[in-house]
Structure 1
Amino acid sequence: MREELAGTVLGFDFGERRIGVALGETLLGIAHPLITIDTLVTDERFAAIANLLAEWKPVALIVGLPTHADGTPHNMTRLATKFSNRLKARYGLPVFLVDERYTSEVAESMLNDAGLRGRKQKPALDQVAAQAILQSWFEGVGERA
């Protein structure tokens, strides 16, 4: 399915408090951190997402699917799946789920390499995790929600 899509895609690292967002182009296959949506209010979250969709006009949305290390689901798996279903229903775009195991560790390592450590990582961690999720999708990991 990736081969059929051409254009901008947005990747999401879903959290109960924060949603990291990354941006990429299917032609280049390179993801970049974009923004962190930091609110508990559902309407505010979807308003921010709607603004991003209006600005970037993506052809698809990619959502990280959290699981335990052994791949079994947990509560955040259910919440991320619900989030992906809501994106699909609201915006009518293709939505893909990507295994996000270890993306937070990858994001933390990337930020360490960039010289950001400890508390300095917090503002960027979720969007860099979204970048890792989106990059995984570019590399062929994922399925349609």
Structure 2
Amino acid sequence: MSAAAATLEELARHLERPCALIGLDLGTKTIGVAVSDVTWRFSTPLTVIKRVKFSIDAASLLAICTERQAAALILGLPLNMDGSAGPRAQATRAFQRSLAQLTSLPIVFQDERLSTHEAERALIERDMSRKKRAAVIDAHAAAIILQGALDRLAVLRQTDGTGQSNEHR
């Protein structure tokens, strides 16, 4: 499987566990990073990378992938509420294309609509101050994005990789 924009269906069919997956919430100033457990059940916020320039950002991400022995990257795709792709989605796709030039890891897009809002709500419920929330929200959003992919992968792994149950074949 190449670093081209793979799909979750392809990951379900081709990746072997145990291995970690890395989730990313790409922003203009930061990149939130989360990691899965090797069984693909849970995502955990890991860190927030302050963006400098692409080469430095990519080196930081790939170092995390190496350290965590990641098998794939799940990249949040910021679609508009109507499902259309705006400028942020185009920038995310451009980032994916550039990153794919530097790694053989599959990079899969995952819809990230409302992930930051959900992360903020969860952090507020924990009574976290605004200052502390600002420091960690992107990593928590990345964990929400990654958990969405893990939940979908769990369904796909129980089927033939297309979402259709193997029981009826």
Q: Name the TM-score, length of structure 2 as normaliser.
A: 0.78
- The structural deviation recorded for 1:28 is 4.0
Which structure has the larger Rg over C-alpha atoms? Answer: 2
Spell out, residue by residue over 1:40-61, the C-alpha distance to the aligned partner (whole angstroms, 9 max, x if none). 3222211211211221110110
1:140 aligns with 2:152: yes
Can you give the 5+ residue segments of structure 1 that lack an aligned partner in the other structure?
A: none
Measured on the aligned residues, the alpha-carbon RMSD in Å equals 1.5
* 1:1-145 equivalence runs, <5 A: 1-3=10-12, 4-5=14-15, 6=17, 7-140=19-152
Q: In structure 1, what is the Cα distance between the partners aligned to 2:151 and 2:65?
A: 23
Aligned to 2:165: none
Can you give the 5+ residue segments of structure 2 that lack an aligned partner in the other structure?
A: 1-9, 154-169
Spell out, residue by residue over 1:19-66, the C-alpha distance to the aligned partner (whole angstroms, 9 max, x if none). 000000351421000000002322221121121122111011000000
CA contact (8 A) 1:26 1:138 kept: no
CA contact (8 A) 1:19 1:38 kept: yes
Q: In structure 2, what is the Cα distance between the partners aligned to 1:2 and 1:91?
A: 16
Partner SS state of residue 139, structure 1: helix
Q: Name the TM-score, length of structure 1 as normaliser.
A: 0.90
Partner SS state of residue 93, structure 1: coil
Spell out, residue by residue over 1:97-127, the C-alpha distance to the aligned partner (whole angstroms, 9 max, x if none). 0000000111101111222142320110000
Q: In structure 2, what is the Cα distance between the partners aligned to 1:88 and 1:140?
A: 23
